[in-house]
Structure 1
Amino acid sequence: MKKPVVWIVIFLGMLFILSLLIAGIFSLSISSDLEGDGNVAVIAVEGMIASGEAGPFGTEYASSDSIVKLIEKADKDPQIKAILFRVNSGGGTAVASEEIVRAIKRTNKTTVAWIRDVGASGAYWVSSATDHIVASPMTITGSVGVIGSYIEFAGLLEKYNVTYRRLVAGKYKDIGSPLKEMTAEEELLLQTHLDTIYAYFLDDVMKNRNLTISEGFDQAQIMGGKDALDLGLIDELGGRYEAVAWIEKELNMTVELTPFERRVSLFDVLSGVMNEKSFYVGQGIGSAMLDKTRIVGSVSVLT
Structure 2
Amino acid sequence: MKEQTNRKPWGLIIFVLLLLFLLSTIFVGIISISSSIDVDLLSGNVALIPVKGVITVDPASGWGERVVSSTEITEFIEKADKNPKIEAIILDINSPGGSAVASEEIAVAVKKADKTTIALIREVGASGGYWIASAADQIVANRMSVTGSIGVFSSYLEFSGLLRDYNVTYQRLVSGEYKDMGSPFKELTPNERGLLQSKLDRIHSFFIEEVAVNRGLSYEQVQPLSTGAFYLGIEAKELGLVDVLGGKQEVIDILEKELNITVELAKYERKKTLFDVFGEVMNQRSFHLGRGIGSSMYGSETDRLKVWA
Query: What TM-score, normalized to structure 1?
Result: 0.81
Query: Structure 1: how far apart are the matches of 2:76 and 2:292?
Result: 35
Query: Structure 2: how far apart are the matches of 1:34 and 1:169?
Result: 51
Q: Could you tell me which of 254, 272, 288 is aligned with 2:262?
A: 254
1:294: which partner in 2?
A: 298
| Amino acid in the other structure paired with 2:126 | A
Query: Structure 1: how far apart are the matches of 2:72 and 2:297?
Result: 28
- Could you tell me how far 1:249 is from its partner in structure 2? 1.3
**1:214 corresponds to 2:192:** no
- Residues 70-90 of structure 1: CA deviation (Å, up to 9, x unaligned): 111111100011110010000
Q: Could you tell me which of 47, 50, 58 is aligned with 1:52?
A: 58
8 Å CA contact retained: 2:39, 2:79: no
Residue aligned with 1:242, SS: helix
Please list, as runs of the form range in 1=range in 2, the aligned pairs for 1:71-82 lying within 5 A after superposition: 71-82=77-88
8 Å CA contact retained: 2:35, 2:270: no
Please list, as runs of the form range in 1=range in 2, the aligned pairs for 1:240-279 lying within 5 A after superposition: 240-262=248-270
List 4+ stretches of structure 1 deviating above 4 A.
Answer: 22-35, 54-58, 287-292
8 Å CA contact retained: 2:46, 2:264: yes
| Amino acid in the other structure paired with 1:226 | I
8 Å CA contact retained: 2:156, 2:296: no
- Cα distance, 1:263–1:72 mapped onto 2, change above 3 Å: farther
**1:155 corresponds to 2:155:** no
- Could you tell me how far 1:92 is from its partner in structure 2? 0.4
**1:123 corresponds to 2:113:** no
Q: Could you tell me which of 113, 119, 122 is aligned with 1:107?
A: 113
1:192: which partner in 2?
A: 198
Residue aligned with 1:214, SS: helix
Q: Could you tell me which of 211, 234, 250 is aligned with 1:226?
A: 234
2:49: which partner in 1?
A: 43
8 Å CA contact retained: 1:85, 1:112: yes
Query: Structure 2: how far apart are the matches of 1:55 and 1:184?
Result: 32
- Could you tell me how far 1:160 is from its partner in structure 2? 1.7
Query: What TM-score, normalized to structure 2?
Result: 0.79
- Residues 30-73 of structure 1: CA deviation (Å, up to 9, x unaligned): 64999531001111111100011359985320100011111111
Query: Structure 2: how far apart are the matches of 1:34 and 1:102?
Result: 22
- Could you tell me how far 1:252 is from its partner in structure 2? 1.2
Deviates more, 1:92-101 or 1:148-157: 148-157
- Could you tell me how far 1:149 is from its partner in structure 2? 2.7
Unaligned runs of 5+ in 1: 277-282
- Cα distance, 1:25–1:173 mapped onto 2, change above 3 Å: closer
Residue aligned with 1:114, SS: strand
Counting aligned pairs with the same residue, the percent is 45
- Could you tell me how far 1:150 is from its partner in structure 2? 2.7
- Cα distance, 1:95–1:289 mapped onto 2, change above 3 Å: closer
2:189: which partner in 1?
A: 183
Residue aligned with 1:302, SS: coil
8 Å CA contact retained: 2:77, 2:113: yes
1:279: which partner in 2?
A: none
Query: Structure 2: how far apart are the matches of 1:27 and 1:112?
Result: 30
Unaligned runs of 5+ in 2: 6-11, 280-286
Query: Structure 1: how far apart are the matches of 2:72 and 2:79?
Result: 11
- Cα distance, 1:27–1:189 mapped onto 2, change above 3 Å: closer
- Cα distance, 1:55–1:217 mapped onto 2, change above 3 Å: closer
8 Å CA contact retained: 1:50, 1:61: yes
Query: Structure 2: how far apart are the matches of 1:63 and 1:241?
Result: 26
- Residues 88-146 of structure 1: CA deviation (Å, up to 9, x unaligned): 00000111111101111111011011101100000000000000101111111110001
Query: Structure 2: how far apart are the matches of 1:110 and 1:33?
Result: 18
CA-atom RMSD in angstroms: 3.5
8 Å CA contact retained: 1:34, 1:263: no
Residue aligned with 2:93, SS: strand
